Structure 1
């Protein structure tokens, strides 16, 4: 009996310690799905200005997007955007792994990158913000 009780208590502690995406209420989950769909659509259509507007204002202020960086993004055409499932972090933020295919418009060179979106719930604004910025298509260059 003590072993069963120990296992049961361990499971309860584990569930309480890791709230997970399932801990989101229905409204937050719906808003997350909507925000992720809008962000994914903006990136799919290479509309980086629209995607940038979904990035957390704190990130936009601390790491502003320069005209040169924006010009580099406009050299790329997104060819695919494959989303993985959502995962949660202990601070309540949500992550999602994506694989993005891009073609450089000048060289016609294609590449695929794996990138992690990270989403933060803004309780005051009742919305989700993407906190990872725009995808880094040049990582490793």
Structure 2
């Protein structure tokens, strides 16, 4: 009987570790999924849908009418997602765009911050939307 106890502790430790790892993998996969769809939403000009990626408290401050004059020509991840232990992730993308009033190609670096909301089990973009001047 005494030899079973260490084995049982080892099994419980491995099971607990693998469950925690699985949970982190699911969060990382959800983040990749949401940032991909965020990029597609921006890239294809579905600006009304952008507010769905922001935390509810931040949504009222978004000037969507200004975005309607922008046409995105390229969206490229230049620094892949990095998740820190506090459930905050960052990535950088380069966005090429044309403002319909100027018809001149411009580029900007968008430094994105994403935070995991444990109550809603989702990621929100907490950094401001890019400034297309």
TM-score by length of 1: 0.72
Q: What are the residue-to-residue correspondences of 1:114-125 with 2, within 5 Å?
A: 114-125=109-120
1:33 aligns with 2:36: no
SS of the residue aligned with 2:74?
Answer: strand
Q: Is the 8 A contact 1:121 1:129 kept in 2?
A: yes
> Runs of 4+ in structure 1 displaced over 6 angstroms?
none
2:107 corresponds to which of 107, 112, 119:
112
1:71 corresponds to which of 65, 71, 80:
65
User: 1:89: Cα distance to partner?
Assistant: 4.7
1:129 aligns with 2:128: no
Q: What are the residue-to-residue correspondences of 1:1-141 with 2, within 5 Å?
A: 25-61=24-60, 64-65=61-62, 69-83=63-77, 84-89=79-84, 91-138=86-133
CA RMSD, 1 decimal: 2.0
* CA distance 1:116–1:78, shift in 2 (3 Å): same
Q: Which runs of 5+ in 1 are unaligned?
A: 1-21
Q: Report the structure number with the largest CA radius of gyration.
A: 2
User: 1:93: Cα distance to partner?
Assistant: 0.5
Q: Which runs of 5+ in 2 are unaligned?
A: 1-20
Of the two structures, which has the highest relative contact order with CA contacts closer than 8 Å and spacing of 6 or more? 1
